[in-house]
Chains A and B, each alone.
Chain A
Amino acid sequence: MRRADSAGLHTATGAYALHALPDNERGSFERHLVDCGACAQEVRELQATAVRLGLAATVRPAPEVRNRVVERIRHIRQEPPPVAQYRTHRLRRLPRFVLAAAIAVGVAGGVAFWQYREAGDALAGAEHAQAGVAEVSRVLTASDATYTSGRTKDGARTTVVVSRERDQAVLLASGLPALPKGKVYQLWFDDAGTMRDAGLLDGDTRTHTVLMHGPARAASGIGITVEPSGGSAAPTSAPLMLMELPA
């Protein structure tokens, strides 16, 4: 059964390389690509082949286009390079009661349930912090909650859960290295390239579950920097990690 499914997906490499998969099928194929190295290699080769079809049709654009583009990029900020790979999990289709129930009974088994488990961990962390539990859990169980998670280079795991409807975000971090005295982790919302203060991670625990300060809806990403105690008005050091939020 599984075999047949992945064989079916595998034949989609050509359609994928040609951008000929409808949106709903593209998502599942891209998830398949993550685990199928051979497919990813074939996609790269077939994409390079498709590109040759484009190269073959070379047409010079009007010179004014160049002037317009070159003028416009002078005012456009570039995106930061990726710090680490993050995956996004959209929970929109999960009924809220399922998630709530999963947390309540502490469901812990099965690959398909890992999101629930993570939410359960998060909730446990939140209870431990004894502050903003209700607020945090409302974001975690919001019907439009999206997860973006991954690891920073030094191995800390970070997950941000955003609810656009609630206009709030929760950051979960574990394994962040302890900081020297006088330093603190500070959170930022990325407003199209401008970093906006979103609060500090206090205490010296390695695990954090915090409601980020300020509205989350408009942010295109979040970042974490190390700042002097008390925090800064703007980042004074290179970010430990930057995560793009799903649009």
Chain B
Amino acid sequence: MPVPRPARPIAAAAEHGPSADALLVQVARGDQDAFGELYDLVSGAVFGTIRGVLRDPAQSEEVMQEVMIQVWRTAPRFQADKGSGMNWVLTLAHRRAVDRVRSEQATVDRDHKAALLDSTPAYDHVTEQVEARLERQQVRRCLRFLTQLQREAVTLAYYRGLTYREVAELLGVPLGTVKTRLRDGLIRLRDCMGVEA
């Protein structure tokens, strides 16, 4: 199936990319006002990313604070040539959210795979919920161009913070297949959304 390419770059990237980069440079020099501006620019996406994974609003706020403090602390290590500032911040946010989810699993039900399956809503429901929340039409549209398995695997991994092994178990699909679907699913999304890095 041919994957449609976007007619124009998505607004989000164009709006956020350069100014998050510029603000990070100022933040790296200890500029607290610039940090406030950066917060205003990225906080919606950061919080959305975290809450998507964690669900619980109070916990999400906690992780949100940790992430923004980490952004402040490590801004001097941000390297613009390795990707945009927005990507850096959101990748960090997703990582922290996923770490939190996994540490909780580790303490609660690591030994009970069944519990993981039980506590995770059926995957079609997950996909639906996530899609309903998506504010950007393009992502929703591009997700539709994925095969069902690609879409399920990508959304379970990204929005629920599952490892590919957990995704494989949940979907009853071999490990290698899930790994491949995560990759070709993302590649298809990349091409559909015209993402460059």
**Which residues A37-51 have CB closer than 8 A to chain B?**
41, 44-51
By size class, the interface of chain B is: 35 or more
Residue ID in chain A nearest B33 by CB atoms: A70
Evaluate contact between B164 and A21: CB separation under 8 angstroms: yes
Residue ID in chain B nearest A64 by CB atoms: B61
Residue ID in chain A nearest B62 by CB atoms: A65
Evaluate contact between B45 and A55: CB separation under 8 angstroms: yes
A159 to chain B, nearest CB (A): 21
Report chain A residues within 8 Å CB of B73: 76-79
CA distance A170 to B196 in the complex (A): 44
Residue ID in chain B nearest A82 by CB atoms: B77
CA distance A57 to B46 in the complex (A): 9
CA distance A193 to B100 in the complex (A): 26
Report chain B residues within 8 Å CB of A66: 36, 39-40, 43
Report chain B residues within 8 Å CB of A65: 43, 47, 61, 64-65
Evaluate contact between B183 and A49: CB separation under 8 angstroms: no
**Which residues B80-132 have CB closer than 8 A to chain A?**
82-84, 86-87, 90-91, 93-95, 98, 130
**9-residue interface stretch from A11-19, A93-101, A150-158, A229-237:** A11-19
Total A-B pairs, Cβ < 8 A: 198
CA distance A67 to B159 in the complex (A): 27
Report chain B residues within 8 Å CB of A68: 65
- Does A180 make an interface contact (CB < 8 A)? no
- Does B74 make an interface contact (CB < 8 A)? yes
A61 to chain B, nearest CB (A): 4
Evaluate contact between A17 and B186: CB separation under 8 angstroms: yes
- Does A31 make an interface contact (CB < 8 A)? no
Evaluate contact between B43 and A61: CB separation under 8 angstroms: yes
Evaluate contact between A11 and B183: CB separation under 8 angstroms: yes
CA distance A56 to B16 in the complex (A): 13
- Please indicate which of the listed interface residues B40, B87, B196 has the most CB atoms of chain A within 10 Å of its own CB: B87
Q: B interface vs A, CB < 8 Å?
A: 10, 12-13, 16, 28, 30, 32, 35-36, 39-40, 43-49, 51-52, 60-61, 64-65, 68-69, 72-77, 82-84, 86-87, 90-91, 93-95, 98, 130, 133-136, 138-140, 154-155, 157-159, 161-165, 167, 176, 178-187, 189-190, 193, 195-197
Which are the 7 A-B pairs with shortest beta-carbon distances? A14-B183, A54-B49, A14-B182, A56-B139, A57-B48, A20-B157, A61-B47
Q: A interface vs B, CB < 8 Å?
A: 11-15, 17-22, 41, 44-62, 65-66, 68-70, 72-74, 76-82
